[in-house]
Amino acid sequence: MLSNTIALSIAFCVMLLISPKGINILHRMKFGQEVRDDGPQTHLKKQGTPTMGGILFLIAISIGILPFIGEVSGLLPAYLLGLGFGIVGFVDDYLKVVKHQSEGFNPKQKMVSQIVISLLYIAFLYFYSGRANDFLLPFVKETSWSLGILFFPVSLFIITATDTGANFTDGIDGLCSSVTAVIVFFLFLVDRIILGGAELGALPGAV
């Protein structure tokens, strides 16, 4: 738990330091959010809001957890999973800026990217982790079921649904901080791993 606190504190401080400057840089580079004209009128206020702010999250989280990569089993694959999704989001936002439109990747491209990245992570867990195929109930200790080969579809659904759900409910603030805060807080309570602690620390700094 001490490692969680340290990672959280590091990520918070880094995010607090880099977010104002980072947002200003995105403004100057005109990396603004494009909003569809046929969407809700309330979304028009998001026009021009700096996009690609997720890179600030990745920087803060990386600095927060990298010192503990060698100490916590399974942390590196989880970090690479998050990094993979972050790269997909970065490219998606970059295409929006370059094309000057509200869509970067089309839905099929996004889903294929998520599935490929998720399957690589799931395969690693299944073949190289001793109890990776066990299904655990959150907050209920010593209660688990072995999923066997069903570990693949169940894990794929959970991972992609979580990632896609965050995209669907992305807030108007442009940085998705309010949405991500809820997701990360839950995962932090369930897993109590450093990756969650680092993300939780980055969010207040972003706000």
Binding site listing for Mg(2+): 167
Q: b/e string for 34-58 if b means 16 or more Cβ within 10 A?
A: bbeeeeeeeeeebeebbbbbbbbbb
Quote the CA–CA distance of 101 and 93 in Å, as a whole number: 10
Start-end of H helices in 29-150: 54-65, 75-99, 107-128
| C-alpha closest to that of 170 among 183, 152, 158 | 183
DSSP run (H or E) holding 144: strand 144-146
**Which residues are annotated binding-site positions?**
167
Provide long-range contacts, Cβ within 8 A and 24+ apart, for 31-38.
Answer: 31/93, 31/97, 32/97, 33/96, 33/102, 33/174, 34/96, 34/97, 34/100, 34/101, 34/102, 35/102, 36/102
